[in-house]
Structure 1
């Protein structure tokens, strides 16, 4: 019996942050409220440049001994180094735990799927459709899959699932320092607390939020025979953005929402490369979304 799909994600890593100052240390750096997390709870967040651009986006899980950061493996060394740079006199220990802990995604499974022995399980805080995250040794994850009746899926299967949910990720859909937090939809995916105190890049984030000046957004796209990531998204002679992830007939694209809306109001077709595409609003998106003229 298939009770869900589990994919172990080799492109994700785990950083541990512990010590008596771990909570104020993280809370003062990232975009989300860390102080409110209880053991077993997780949030999505980001570490920004002073100019408000996203250096790293990651999930933070609080546990009895501190925090685990679920991040892109490509970001591991730089994120660990950046956290160490901000450590100063804080009483915290920062360690890469990726050799002993693996990250897995579980979807199409019961909401209360049990954690692996000696590990952690939590709902992915970005979007309900993504399912759950599990952190444990790879052996324990495989044992849990067998015990719970989860089908072992490939990382590419989860990638297709992520794209189907319209959720962008750093180091896949954008590079470090390339986009603003609003561009990356971190505000839409529960990654920003607009009421917390100061953190790196807060002034820019707050200004864009209150003035409504975010012009770029990630959107889902659908089309037959989508081109490779990097293809231009256009409407006539107008450049709207670029395709960033593709799985079958679905993809993600970073586009100028205002230009896309203007093009659709004129009845212009939108293309990725030479392929006609439809822009699709993800279930979680609350921003003004471009729609075709009636």
Structure 2
């Protein structure tokens, strides 16, 4: 089994009788109660912007969550604040555990493969270059915080969490839920993930459509990236450029939206 190290991920373990309730009450996704598929979730600000996002899985009587290293300190601080008097132990495992990606075994990350979490001493044979993972998730149109967008800048709908199961619309209130619900019911999501190829520019470069900025590209791997794009500004995909050069754009296979889509003003 080949496992690729995702060195930019931080791991936290939540245990105790109130662990599931605590997490399920503050994040967007449906948190698992048994081993199996890893669930996508986001912790939002009251204004609905993503503060942290990652996967959650259940194993050994606890919930295991990973986030990007850039938001790990803030995530840990916020979860300890939300804990209050709940019977939960929150362990910061950044010094002792690592996150990896495998196509063979672990907690299934949808169709991308498997997320693996292991103690540092068991990761000596992991491949340090995570390019295969990044290429796979870019090809699937999946955005990651830290790699593609910063904290407190992006709505959950902007990265397709409403389509890909990262939001549980049936559960009760959580932080930012009012904004998420309003965007769903009013159909006000105007920015969506779009795959961009033939890029000869760094991450963060503007995507222009007919001379107007429509978004920015995320992490670029072998000329490909995922961008968060204003759909209403893409009236002719052949006119899109990055750094003055033509690029190709395409919608993810899972997309339920289209180029040129417009939404009503709030």
TM-score, normalising length from structure 2?
0.91
SS of residue matched to 1:28: helix
- 2:81 and 2:232 map into 1 onto residues whose CA distance is 38
- 2:56 and 2:238 map into 1 onto residues whose CA distance is 42
Match for residue 79 of structure 1 among 65, 71, 75? 75
- 1:12 and 1:55 map into 2 onto residues whose CA distance is 15
Runs of 4+ with deviation above 4 angstroms = none
SS of residue matched to 2:73: helix
SS of residue matched to 1:279: strand
- The answer on 1:191 being equivalent to 2:166 is yes
Show CA shifts across 1:77-128 (max 9, x none): 1110010111111111111112221110013x4xxx3xxxxxxx11113xx1
Identify the residue that residue 39 of structure 2 maps to in structure 1. Answer: 43
- 2:164 and 2:50 map into 1 onto residues whose CA distance is 14
Structure whose CA Rg is larger: 1
Residue ranges of structure 2 left out of the alignment (5+ in a row): 262-266
Identify the residue that residue 116 of structure 1 maps to in structure 2. Answer: none
Match for residue 257 of structure 1 among 231, 253, 259? 231
TM-score, normalising length from structure 1?
0.83
Match for residue 242 of structure 1 among 196, 199, 216? 216
Residues 228 and 246 of structure 1 are in contact (CA less than 8 Å); yes or no, is this contact kept in structure 2? yes
- 1:268–1:41 CA distance, 2 compared to 1 (3 A): closer
- The answer on 1:102 being equivalent to 2:87 is no
Identify the residue that residue 184 of structure 2 maps to in structure 1. Answer: 209
Identify the residue that residue 118 of structure 1 maps to in structure 2. Answer: none
- 1:20 and 1:257 map into 2 onto residues whose CA distance is 44
Identify the residue that residue 23 of structure 2 maps to in structure 1. Answer: 26
Residues 59 and 70 of structure 1 are in contact (CA less than 8 Å); yes or no, is this contact kept in structure 2? yes
Aligned residue pairs, count: 261
- 1:242–1:96 CA distance, 2 compared to 1 (3 A): same
Match for residue 15 of structure 1 among 12, 17, 21? 12
Identify the residue that residue 285 of structure 1 maps to in structure 2. Answer: 255
- 2:33 and 2:247 map into 1 onto residues whose CA distance is 40
Tell me by how many angstroms 1:38 deviates: 1.6
